[in-house]
Chains A and B, each alone.
Chain A
Amino acid sequence: MTARISKWPGFELSAADLAEGKVTQTRFRPDAKYAWSAGEAMSRFLAELQEGRLIARTCQSCERILFPPRMFCEECYRPTDAWKYIQDTGTIETFSISYLDTDAKRIAEPILVGVTSLDGASPKMGMMHYFGEMTKEEIRIGMRVKAVWKPPADRRGSVLDIRYFRPLREGER
């Protein structure tokens, strides 16, 4: 209540009042269905993940290779031009040693997550993912890594079709 109004008109109803039918009421459940689309570029990106490939879009104007792919170049303000496969190797740009899991629960053994810029895409373009087969002492910015894919039968057209990025082994490219 306020300084000037000691009692508002009307009366309050509790959830129990409504459940008991203390007042007349109308109940309704709208048939509110939706289909949320990933869009042209991300749909192709996800479909290619299922095939074990990473795909980008190129822009003729700024000559960039955009990854993750998008149908529109935000630098040139024009549609992008073509699809281009890129490699599943790259370089760690940033990383976090996280003591929280994906549900924000505290965990004793940290998970390693971060952004990898991928070979074949323009500089600094890549994706965020887990890192594995390395310890929190070993991980560093600039580390060369490679994607570890799920077996084809387990892939679902999801970013988790890649399990994690592991260190690139000596002599590997």
Chain B
Amino acid sequence: MTFLERTTDPRRLRTWEGHMEADYIYTSGIAGERFFVALRDEGRVLASRCTACHLDYLPARLFCEDCFAELTEFVDVPGEGRVVAVTVAHVDRSGNPLSRPQVWGFVSFRGIRGGLVHRLLVSPDRARAGLAVRPKLKPRSARVGAITDIEGFEPVRS
């Protein structure tokens, strides 16, 4: 054994195992707060508007990326969006196999800069870019002010 040979399995040696406690709380911020409260309380999906640049941003944000103006106006995104990209996941976040594949997509809306990554409520064989979708919300009582208040995006025409 020389120092040039890499130690690839530290458990072969004397090791100490541990678990780092790295809990965090991520707050939504000022514009994010508007976005999530509107989603929770009114079931609306908001974009923030820059009147100078004629741009609407999704997710809603506090500053215009083009002119750096503070954004105080919010508008509803269209009820119908379009799938731009899809991924079919066969493993979960930890890399464990899923019992059935999950479909994820990036959904954009006409006239809006940005979009949302979310679950697509379609079978994997129907998942494709160009699909017209709309958000499916949880009932008001189940909404907590998180992106998961949207269950996913379902096809407009089934």
* A32-B25 contact, Cβ under 8 Å, with A24-B145, A42-B14, A43-B13: no
Within 8 A of B (CB), among A21-53: 23-40, 42-43, 46-47
Report how many A-B pairs have Cβ atoms within 8 Å: 87
A-side interface size class: 20 to 34
B154 at interface, CB cutoff 8 A: no
Complex partner residue of A71 from B3, B32, B94, B145, CB under 8 angstroms: B3
* Contacting pair A32 B3 (CB below 8 A): no
- Nearest-neighbour CB distance to chain A for B91, whole angstroms, equals 15
B19 at interface, CB cutoff 8 A: yes
Within 8 A of A (CB), among B128-144: 144
* Contacting pair A37 B13 (CB below 8 A): yes
* Contacting pair B37 A24 (CB below 8 A): yes
A68 at interface, CB cutoff 8 A: no
Complex partner residue of B13 from A18, A31, A39, A79, CB under 8 angstroms: A39
- Nearest-neighbour CB distance to chain B for A155, whole angstroms, equals 14
A171 at interface, CB cutoff 8 A: no
A132 at interface, CB cutoff 8 A: no
- Nearest-neighbour CB distance to chain B for A76, whole angstroms, equals 12
List chain B residues, Cβ under 8 A from A38.
13-15
A40 CA to B14 CA in the complex, in Å?
8
* Contacting pair B14 A35 (CB below 8 A): no
* A72-B25 contact, Cβ under 8 Å, with A34-B17, A35-B10, A38-B14: no
List chain B residues, Cβ under 8 A from A36.
10, 15-18
B24 at interface, CB cutoff 8 A: yes
List chain A residues, Cβ under 8 A from B15.
35-38
B99 at interface, CB cutoff 8 A: no
* Contacting pair A23 B27 (CB below 8 A): yes
* Contacting pair A10 B30 (CB below 8 A): yes
List chain B residues, Cβ under 8 A from A42.
14
List chain A residues, Cβ under 8 A from B30.
10
Of all chain B residues, the one with the shortest Cβ separation from A29 is B23
Complex partner residue of A18 from B18, B21, B25, CB under 8 angstroms: B25
* A43-B33 contact, Cβ under 8 Å, with A24-B28, A24-B40, A28-B26: no
- Nearest-neighbour CB distance to chain B for A160, whole angstroms, equals 14
A79 CA to B17 CA in the complex, in Å?
28
Which of A26, A30, A31, A157: most chain B Cβ within 10 A?
Answer: A26
